[in-house]
Structure 1
Amino acid sequence: MSTLSQDEEKLVPEGRIERVDGDYVLAFDRQLDYPHTYIWSLLAEKDNVAKWLGTLDADWELGRTYELVLGGGMSSGTVLQLNPPLSLQITWEDELGQESVIEWRVLESDGGTLLQFRSRAEGPEFLTEGSAGWQTILDALAEVAAGRRPDTEIDRWTPLREAYSRLYQLSHSMGTVESDSGHTCVRFERLLDAGRDRVWAALTEPEMLGAWLGPGRVELQAGGAVEFNLPGQTVSGDVEYVLAGSRLDYTWTAPEGTGTVHWMLEPEDGRTRLTLVHNLGRETSAGSLMARWHMRLDALATMLGGGQVHDSAHRREALARFYQRFQPA
């Protein structure tokens, strides 16, 4: 994958994230110097949709369900409104069961087209990821409109995801696969609605650990024992480094593989930015591990918010399928 140039590192969010009637709304407004009927054809005809978004099983039809294959994943839903050549509204359900309502409006403006995009969802999960994703998709649409092939070699999504998180003070949801000193690792970063002391306690105190991760203990000293009794497996390890309230590293030995876990906590406007990096042994499946950590970190946020943690086998299986595509070759 190519690295970003100096100009590309300046990528900034073009979308707006708003709260409307308790929902989260992502909004983009793009002025394009092409006739609105031409932009509508890119939006509405499945052969054109394939050039910038994904493979649609058929042209949009009012009341009809659809399936769309894109970027290794899949979305499905129903066409709620279809008013050629002005507007299209659809439900959008991803492979994890997250559902939103998406609307496109194609309006004549200043001799060209004002393209309006709105995505409305009940919660903030995957909002930073979705915002970055839709901005790159709109960039691809603009490239196709200009008669060019979208550039997929440069990673614009990662810096945009971070920019949306910082600008709107929203937590990432997805984990990512990275390389650390030549070794594969998985990384999660979550912005938690709790002070650093409380998050530290959740990582180290047996009663709180049991509420989101599983029964266990962490001896807070170099060489101290680490033990967790997780569903279907026991994890053991040794503490490698402790900086109270900020940093905790320990080895991780489980039936599914070995590795090293690194926790880092940073205060941020009354909340805590938690970073988890799990370095993997060769035998460990990154996809399976990411699904497990995603659910455990969701549980941590729920527990810190005073909610009751409820695990879902369906959710776990969906996450496992989702993250399997990130398994290194």
Structure 2
Amino acid sequence: MTTLTPDADKVIPTGRIERVDGDYVLAFDLQLDYPRSFIWSLLTEREKVAKWLGILLDDWAVGHAYELDMDGGSASGTVLQFNPPLSLQITWEDELGDESLIEWRVLESAGGTLLQFRARTESTDFLTEGSAGWQTILEGLEAVAAGRNPDNSTDRWTPLRDAYSREYSLSPSMGSLRQESGHPAVHFDRLLDADRDTVWSALTEPEQFARWLAPGELQLQAGGAMRLDFPNYSLDGDVSYVLNGQALEYSWSSPEVQESSVHWMLSSAGSKTLLQLNHVVRSPAKLDLLLAKWHDRLDALAVLLARGEVHPSAHRLDALTRFYRRAVGTGAPEDQRS
């Protein structure tokens, strides 16, 4: 199902992201050379569902809640339709509280089966991640249908996420851990719906960054001082690099990490701006919490740029922290520790 380009290390999305009545719909259409009844059994029989999706704690039943244990993650919701052997429709709530509507339709086609998958959501949050995730999950279903185990030996998810982002001009949501000169670095790419000058102002003007990051001051020159006043502490740092409208770097010391630096880079992407954040850590750090807090604040920046009101949520931050703790642990991997 994953399509390789001639470069052999890139992938092409096989799903489509469409706008329908103001919502986003992720659509896959899989032609499978197996009987309809067999494909239906893969969707509905718990021992078969466990091979490609997750451990279903009870049978699907209309109007009943369900829970899925998915390799350390989880999902839950309610079964809305169960029409053998045609359709299964469920609500889907992940561990961050993001909701979508999922539907599988199983149709006879060309001597085999056409499996249609649709996921509908109101928000772009995790849309590129979810698209890549569902593509790899459906690849797993195809493998199980063919009598094979799903191939989890290579990371197809990351290039797929980036491919969906490029194909549909949507921003990734998740942060990741990288290496910078032997030190772990928290990294985010966000595609923001604003021009570069507007984003630069939001990063550098105190009256702007007070609304999404924290109140404070910033002297926009090399050697200048910066200060951020968070609810429980103040952060002081020094500006080490400025390239007006494009790049900014300053030192950072907080309860999550004592010795570190934050590097922002902006580049135009049509009418949008690609923001890249690298937070390089040079002392022991709670990287799960650092990822969660930056994720939360970058979400707030996007809200501000959309001229919305930022409303901090402790519940959302707690959910993000649990999410990143499961994804990366509380610190850097052993080969990334300073």
TM-score, reference length from structure 1: 0.96
Contact map agreement 2:5 2:12 (CA 8 A) in 1: no
Whichever residue aligns with residue 75 of structure 1, its letter is A
Q: Distance in 1 between matches of 2:217 and 2:153?
A: 45
Superposition pairs for residues 48-67 of structure 1, below 5 Å? 48-67=48-67
User: Counterparts in 2 of 1:235-246, with a 5 A limit?
Assistant: 235-246=235-246
Partner of 1:196: 196
* Structure 1 counterpart of 2:38: 38
Tell me the equivalent position of 1:13: 13
Map of 1:322 onto structure 2:
323
Distance 2:57 2:6 in 1: 39
**Match for residue 109 of structure 1?**
109
Distance 1:72 1:219 in 2: 45
Q: Distance in 2 between matches of 1:6 and 1:70?
A: 33
- Which residue of structure 2 aligns with residue 182 of structure 1? 182
What corresponds to 2:285 in structure 1? 284
> What is the rounded CA distance, in whole Å, between the counterparts of 1:43 and 1:181 in structure 2?
47
Could you tell me how far 1:233 is from its partner in structure 2? 2.1
CA contact (8 A) 2:29 2:115 kept: yes
Equivalences for residues 60-139 of structure 1 within 5 A: 60-139=60-139
Residue 247 (structure 2) pairs with residue 247 (structure 1): yes
CA shift for structure 1 position 281:
3.1
CA distance in 1, matches of 2:277, 2:284: 20
Aligned equivalent of 2:161: 161
For residue 288 of structure 1, what is the amino acid of its counterpart? L
Partners of 1:277 and 1:291 lie apart in 2 by 14
Return the alpha-carbon distance in structure 2 between the equivalents of residues 172 and 212 of structure 1: 19
Matching of residues 164-313 of structure 1 within 5 Å: 164-257=164-257, 258-313=259-314
2: CA distance between counterparts of 1:193 and 1:7? 31
CA distance in 1, matches of 2:210, 2:245: 19
What amino acid maps onto 1:219 in structure 2? Q
- The 2-side partners of 1:9 and 1:71 are apart by 26
Letter in 2 for 1:57: L
Q: Can you give the 5+ residue segments of structure 1 that lack an aligned partner in the other structure?
A: none
Cα-to-partner distance string for 1:11-69 (whole Å, 9 max, x where unaligned):
10111111111111000001111111111111111111111111110221111111111
Deviations 1:263-290 (A, max 9, x none): 0101111111101111123421111011
C-alpha distance in 1 between matches for 2:246 and 2:201: 11
Q: Report if the CA contact (8 A) 1:235-1:252 is conserved.
A: yes
For 2:81 and 2:139, the matched residues in 1 are separated by 24
- What is the SS of the residue equivalent to 2:9? helix
Q: Tell me the TM-score normalised to structure 2 length.
A: 0.93
Q: Deviation per CA, 1:60-88: give whole Å up to 9, x if none.
A: 11111111111321100000000111110
Asked whether the 8 Å contact 1:36–1:113 carries over to 2, the reply is yes
Equivalenced residue count is 326
- 2:5–2:11 Cα contact (<8 Å) kept: no
Find the residue that maps to 1:221 and give its secondary structure: coil
> 1:243 corresponds to which letter in structure 2?
L
SS of 2:163 mapped into structure 1: helix
- Alignment-mate amino acid for residue 158 of structure 1: T
- State the Cα distance separating 1:252 from its structure 2 match: 0.7
CA–CA separation in structure 2 for the residues paired with 1:282 and 1:37:
57
Identical columns (%): 61
Distance 1:68 1:185 in 2: 32
Paired letter, 2:324: Y
Shift of 1:181: 2.8
> Do the aligned partners of 1:67 and 1:74 also contact (CA within 8 Å) in 2?
yes
| Residues 274 and 51 of structure 1, relative CA distance in 2, 3 Å threshold | same
* Distance in 1 of aligned mates of 2:55 and 2:278: 35
Paired residue secondary structure (1:202): helix
Residue 336 of structure 2 corresponds to none
Question: Shift of residue 8 of structure 1?
Answer: 4.6
Q: For 1:264 and 1:36, how far apart are their aligned partners in 2?
A: 51
**Is this contact kept in 1: 2:55–2:70, CA < 8 A?**
yes
3-state SS of paired residue (1:194): coil
- Give, in angstroms, the shift of residue 255 of structure 1: 2.3
What RMSD over aligned residues (CA atoms) do the two structures have, in Å? 1.5
The answer to which of 231-240 and 205-214 deviates more is 231-240
Alpha-carbon distance between aligned partners in 2 of 1:182 and 1:318, rounded to the nearest angstrom: 30
Whichever residue aligns with residue 319 of structure 2, its letter is A
Q: For 2:278 and 2:10, how far apart are their aligned partners in 1?
A: 26
Native 8 Å contact 1:8 1:156 kept in 2? no
Q: Distance in 2 between matches of 1:224 and 1:305?
A: 30
